[in-house]
C-alpha cells in the first residue's frame, strides 16, 4: 500500500489527550495502518492570532489503500469529529491533521497540495517527521526538493535564531480506582490480554500476567500451557499464592488459529485447540478461582466471548468460534448464578477488533468492517481493555451474568 505522512497538532483543550485519541482513531480506520508515530513536541504558535496557546505536534507514518483526495477527506472528517471549527487562517484548533507526503506524488489542485506547501519551512513539522526515519522502510522524502526530512531540518539546527520544538512529557496523576485489587489476566503477553493487564495496572491494581512460554526476569508472571489441565490447576494455585488471594480473574487466553502455522491446520485440529484453551481452560480456571473467591466473600471474573457467537458467521472460522465462544457465553451466565452474590461474572464479547490478524486482513475484510460496524472503524485492544477495567471496578457492582459487546454498535440478526 502507498505510504503517507501526516502531521498532527493541537492547541485547545487537553492537547495530549486529543493527540492520543487522534492516533487511536487513525489506528482504528479500516484500510489504514499506522506504521509509526513520533513523540510529542511543544511549539510556540507560528503565524497565529495574538494570544494563541502553544501547540503539541507530532507526525505519523501510515500505509493506506485510500487515494490522496480520499485520505484528505478522511482527515477532515476526523478533525470535525474532534470539534475542529475553522474560524480563520491558523486559528486555534482542537485538532489539526495535515497530509504532508503521499509516496512520491506531486499534486496541485484547489483542495489538495502535496507535498504540503509549507512543510519545509516549519521546524514543528520537520522535527517529528525526521524522527520517523526508516519507520516504513524508506525515508520521508520531499519529491520536489529531493531532500529527506533530516536534510530539510538541517538549516534549523544550525540557525542561531531559530527555536526548535521541545519534546513534551505529560505528567498525569495516576488513577487509583482499582488500588488494592489483585488480578490474574491470562494470555497477557500481547494483544488484548496485554492491554487489559496494563489498563488494570494503570488504575492501581496489582497484576499477575500469564503466557504459554516462560519469561526471564518477570516478577509477576506465571507460565502455563492452558491446553494441559494440570497446568491450569498450577496456574490457579500459583497466581492465588502470589497475592494470598485474587480479586479479579480475566480469562482472556485463546488459541490462535488464524495466523502462523495454525492457519493451515485442519478443521478438527483448530476445534481441538479452541476447545482446550478457549473453553475448557476458561471453565477450569473460573471454577477453581471462582470457588476460592466465593469462599473469601468477594471477586470479579471476566471471560471473553465473541459478538457473533449468537448470530453466527459463514465459513469454517465462523462455525468454530461460534460454537466455542457461544459455550463460553452460556457458561458465564451459569457461573454468575452459581457464584452470586459474592462474585460477579461477566463476559466481554469483542467484535471487529484490530488484533494481529486485523493488521494484515485483506481489503475485502477491511470493507466488511466498514460495512458491518455502525461506527465504521475497527475496535482496538484498548477498547476491550477499557470495558474490562470498568467491569472490574466496584462501581459496576450491579452487573453480573451479562455479555458486554464491544463491537462498535453492530447488531446482527
The DSSP code sequence of 160-209 is SS----EE-----PPP-TTTT-EEEESS-SSHHHHHHHHHHHHTT-EEEE
Known catalytic membership, residue 98 = yes
Q: Alpha-carbon distance 352 to 31, whole Å? A: 13
Cβ 134 vs Cβ 148: under 8 Å? no
Phi, psi (rounded to 5 degrees) for 395: -65, -20
From 33, 93, 203, 209, the catalytic residue:
93
Cβ 385 vs Cβ 362: under 8 Å? no
Estimate to the nearest angstrom the gap between the alpha carbon of 299 and the chain centroid.
Answer: 27
Peptide bond into 341 cis (omega under 30): yes
Q: Can you state the angle between helices 282-296 and 315-339, rounded to 10 degrees?
A: 20
From 15, 96, 122, 354, the catalytic residue:
96
Q: Among candidates 222, 177, 223, which has minimal Cα distance to 203?
A: 177
From 20, 65, 84, 212, the catalytic residue:
84
Q: Alpha-carbon distance 214 to 193, whole Å? A: 16
Pairing verdict, β 343-350 and 403-406: parallel
Cβ 228 vs Cβ 280: under 8 Å? no
Q: Among candidates 392, 387, 304, which has minimal Cα distance to 348?
A: 304
From 25, 27, 33, 98, the catalytic residue:
98
Known catalytic membership, residue 96 = yes
Cβ 33 vs Cβ 63: under 8 Å? yes
Known catalytic membership, residue 84 = yes
**Which residues carry out catalysis?**
84, 93, 96, 98
Amino acid at each position: 500500500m502507498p505510504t503517507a505522512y501526516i502531521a498532527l497538532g493541537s492547541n485547545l483543550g487537553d492537547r495530549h489527550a486529543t493527540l492520543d485519541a487522534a492516533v487511536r482513531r487513525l489506528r482504528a480506520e479500516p484500510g489504514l495502518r499506522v506504521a509509526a508515530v513520533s513523540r510529542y513536541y511543544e511549539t510556540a504558535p507560528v503565524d497565529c492570532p495574538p494570544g494563541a496557546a502553544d501547540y503539541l505536534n507530532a507526525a505519523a507514518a501510515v500505509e493506506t489503500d485510500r487515494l490522496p483526495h480520499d485520505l484528505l477527506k478522511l482527515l477532515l472528517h476526523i478533525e470535525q469529529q474532534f470539534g475542529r471549527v475553522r474560524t480563520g487562517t491558523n486559528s486555534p484548533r482542537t485538532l489539526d491533521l495535515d497530509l504532508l507526503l503521499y509516496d512520491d506524488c506531486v499534486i496541485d489542485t484547489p483542495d489538495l497540495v502535496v507535498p504540503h506547501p509549507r512543510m519545509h519551512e516549519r521546524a514543528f513539522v520537520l522535527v517529528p517527521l525526521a524522527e520517523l526515519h526508516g519507520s516504513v522502510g524508506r525515508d520521508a522524502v520531499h519529491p520536489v526538493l529531493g531532500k529527506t526530512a533530516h536534510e530539510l531540518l538541517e538549516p534549523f539546527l544550525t540557525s542561531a535564531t531559530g527555536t526548535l520544538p521541545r519534546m513534551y512529557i505529560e505528567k498525569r496523576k495516576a488513577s487509583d480506582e482499582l488500588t488494592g485489587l489483585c488480578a490474574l489476566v491470562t494470555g497477557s503477553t500481547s494483544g488484548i490480554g496485554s492491554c487489559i493487564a496494563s489498563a488494570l495496572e494503570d488504575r492501581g491494581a496489582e497484576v499477575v500476567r500469564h503466557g504459554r512460554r516462560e519469561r526471564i526476569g518477570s516478577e509477576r508472571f506465571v507460565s502455563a500451557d492452558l491446553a494441559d489441565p494440570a497446568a491450569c490447576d498450577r496456574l490457579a494455585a500459583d497466581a492465588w499464592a502470589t497475592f494470598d488471594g485474587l480479586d479479579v480473574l480475566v480469562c482472556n487466553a485463546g488459541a490462535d488459529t488464524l495466523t502462523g502455522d495454525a492457519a493451515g491446520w485442519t478443521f478438527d485440529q483448530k476445534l481441538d485447540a479452541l476447545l482446550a484453551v478457549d473453553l475448557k481452560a476458561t471453565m477450569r480456571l473460573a471454577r477453581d478461582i471462582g470457588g476460592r473467591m466465593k469462599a473469601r466473600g468477594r471477586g470479579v471474573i471476566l471471560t471473553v466471548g465473541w459478538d457473533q457467537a449468537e448470530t453466527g458467521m459463514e465459513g469454517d472460522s465462523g462455525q468454530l468460534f461460534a460454537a466455542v465462544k457461544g459455550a463460553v457465553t452460556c457458561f458465564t451466565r451459569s457461573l454468575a448464578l452459581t457464584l452470586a452474590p459474592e462474585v460477579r461474572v461477566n463476559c466481554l464479547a469483542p467484535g471487529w477488533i484490530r488484533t494481529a490478524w486485523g493488521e494484515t486482513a485483506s481489503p475485502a475484510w477491511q470493507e466488511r468492517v466498514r460495512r458491518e460496524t455502525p461506527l465504521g472503524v475497527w475496535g482496538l485492544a484498548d477498547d476491550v481493555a477499557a470495558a474490562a477495567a470498568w467491569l472490574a471496578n466496584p462501581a459496576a457492582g450491579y452487573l453480573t451474568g451479562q455479555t458486554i459487546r464491544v463491537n462498535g454498535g453492530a447488531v446482527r440478526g
